[in-house]
Structure formats: structure tokens, C-alpha cells
Amino acid sequence: MDDALRTSAKGLYVAGDYLTGPSTVIEAIASGRRAAENMAREITGAAFCEKVVRMEDTDITDRERTWDYLHRLEIPTVEPVRDRFTTPLVEVETGFTREQGKEESKRCYLCYLHYEIDVSRCIYCRYCIDVAPRDCIKMVEAVETNRDGAVTGLVETSRWQDVHAIVIDNARCIRCGECMRVCPVDCISVTRVELTEKMAQMGD
């Protein structure tokens, strides 16, 4: 089997549990999609969809710092254990109630939301750093990027004369929105970033 999930038998692809052994639904769906894309490419000679990044401006998110400390909820199960054997089809994990589901979802860090400071408008007042609930906004003398322009590292400094920018570290941001609320020049924005697929144009 090669990277395209194609076996040595002509026209035969594999995916899902048959490919990986016992796994999860999400992995089975992902590998099924991959195999389908590769089949389409083999048949038509062209990709039928391409990965694109969709970005759109969005509003403040209002996640709270205290939500960082919420414990993971245990999934309720059928108890006592002997009740799991009343019929062969008892589902042991009964799932969350709507309220429990809402509570559990607060633990999500909403990492598809990207906070950014427009350094050309920043006046370096540091208000955002003062209200930040954690070490998420950095004074930096340099920003390291890769060939695609993606940020790979920040060179921090505490010496004012060396500060070239104030930068949000999205890996540490909890999307509370506090920095946006206090910025006096409104130079902090939030973008919703989503990796999605778009049908390729026929003949591409």
C-alpha cells in the first residue's frame, strides 16, 4: 500500500479500520476521504478538490480565564455494572445532558480564532499586556517566520529600546477578548481561520 492508500492490486484502495486496525470513526472518515480523492485523481487525472484557508473577521469572543480550571467531566455510564448486561445492546456510556455538554464545551480554547495586533497602529501603551490573563502578549525584538510567512518563533525582550513590536502569542491566548476591550486605538482584531475544501475547476 502506498501513500495514496492504493494497494498492489490494480484499482483497489483501502481505508478505515481495515487500513489501521481498530481505530475511531473520525479517522475512518478521514482516510476514506483521502482514498476517495486519490481514486478520483487516478480516474480523471485531476484533483476534484483543493485545500483552501478561509479567513473572516469576527467579533470578540468572551471566553473566561476561570474556564481554564474546569475539570473534564466524566461521561455518565449505566450503573450498577450488572445493568449493562440486561440486553446485548446496552450502550455503557450514556452521554452528556445538554447542560453538561455546554459546560464541557467551555473548556475549548477556540484555537480557530486568531488574535492579531496591527503593529503599524499600535502605540505601545502596554494596556493589553496589563490586562492579559496570562503570558499571551509579548514584547519582541524579532519575529521568526518560515518560508510560507507563518510565525515560528518570537524573540522576546524586556528592554524598551529593543522592542520592535508587541505580538499576541496565539498558542497561549485563551480568547478572552480583554486586550481588544482595552486597546485605546482599536488595533487588535480577531480572524476566524478555517481549513476547508473547494471543488477544483474542471480542466485544472
Ligand X SMILES: Cc1cc2nc3c(=O)[nH]c(=O)nc-3n(C[C@H](O)[C@H](O)[C@H](O)COP(=O)(O)OP(=O)(O)OC[C@H]3O[C@@H](n4cnc5c(N)ncnc54)[C@H](O)[C@@H]3O)c2cc1C
Which residues here bind ligand X, judged by CB under 6 A? 16-18, 23-26, 28
Segment lying near ligand SF4 (by CB under 6 A), choices 22-30, 84-92, 103-111, 185-193:
185-193
Residue 148 zone, left/alpha/beta (φ > 0; ψ -120 to 50; rest)? alpha
| First-to-final CA distance of the chain | 27
* Window 37 to 76, contacts with ligand SF4 (CB under 6 A): none
Distance CA 192, CA 107 (A): 18
| Residue the block writes with cell 487516478 | 42
Distance CA 148, CA 132 (A): 29
Distance CA 164, CA 203 (A): 47
Binding mask 123-142 for ligand SF4 (x = CB under 6 A): xxxxxx---xx--xx-----
Position 113 contacts ligand SF4 (CB under 6 A): no
Segment lying near ligand SF4 (by CB under 6 A), choices 32-40, 92-100, 152-160, 170-178:
170-178
CB nearer ligand SF4, residue 90 or residue 125:
125
R_g of the chain computed on alpha carbons? 24
Interface ranges with ligand SF4 (CB under 6 A): 115, 117, 122-128, 132-133, 136-137, 166, 168, 173-179, 182-183, 185, 187-188
